[in-house]
Amino acid sequence: MQTRALGRTGMQITPIGLGTWAIGGGEWAYAWGAQDDRDSVAAVHRAIELGVNWIDTAAVYGLGHSEEMVGRAIGGMSEKPLIFTKCSLVWDDQRKVGNSLKAGSIRQECIRSLKRLGVESIDLYQIHWPNPDEDIEEGWTEMKRLKEEGLVKHIGVSNFTVAQMGRAEAIAPVETLQPPYSMLRRAIEAETLPWCIAHGVGVIVYSPMLSGMLTGAMTKERAENLPPDDWRRNNKEFQEPRLSRNLELVELLRSIGARHGRSPGEVAVAWTLRHPGVSGAIIGGRSAAQVEGVVGAGALRLNEGEIAEIEAFVSAMPV
């Protein structure tokens, strides 16, 4: 699989990275439902076998469990993939999640993540959310210290606005940004991606398949019967009136994908990778089979006519 430069980090990443939100399992506010740990490890192994060279996780996914699964999967590997993780979402003894950008909290999170992952240094450490806003400078200053000490190699942010990145940039370079981006969530095209291009910030996007909606595996019946511990049941994209229109979009992606021998999900991911400001896209995989079903997006190139088909359909969708 070919690689791309991730901004000014010096890292060369594959266009596709494995996201591990779902393999954190249940029993927290944003779970995807129950998950078999064996499937989680198999998904990581299969992604690496297929050429993916970076794994994205976060301390909060499964309240530490996702990082533990990544650590188990890569343990003993002589050549480990690049490991990207995140901080700033913390939880208490009652498993209630909150936000902290205090220096001591970020340092404690980093130490715990290193232990769960079983690595001596994190390749890319990211602030997960810019909350509380008034503590951004304190949090980013501590991120700079962690890099200077070698506990992390590169530092980035997730879900930051341009103004917030500018504030961080005054303290230390923002090396990467991780924002949501899909053909149904395009807000970053107006200001964020141009700013990142101008400032050499590498962008890795999440939810390019809109949390599974655009994979081709979602149906009306499945969406209406998501288990109680699947956070998506409360997402408007999985409810009417948007659900039916989204599924019509999936059928367009299916027809385009058929021309290339690719799935609707791979078309959705390839669409995000067409943008010159995007270095990579995160694909979630709860099993080896799911990884196999979308990893081909990294090599798929949509032509201008196909992009125009998608643009025409999306433009006609209700807001």
Residues that are catalytic: 61
Residues composing the chain:
319
State the DSSP string of 103-137. HHHHHHHHHHHHHHHT-SSBSEEEESS--SGGGHH
What is the amino acid identity at position 206?
Y
- Rg for the chain, CA atoms, rounded: 19
Strand (E) or helix (H) holding 73: helix 65-74
Q: Which helix (H) or strand (E) holds 66?
A: helix 65-74
The bridge status of strand 124-127 relative to strand 82-87 is parallel
Q: Is 52 within 8 Å of 16 (Cβ atoms)?
A: yes
| Whether residue 241 has a cis bond before it, omega within 30° of 0 | yes
276 Cβ contact list (under 8 Å, min separation 6): 197
d(CA 157, CA 137): 12
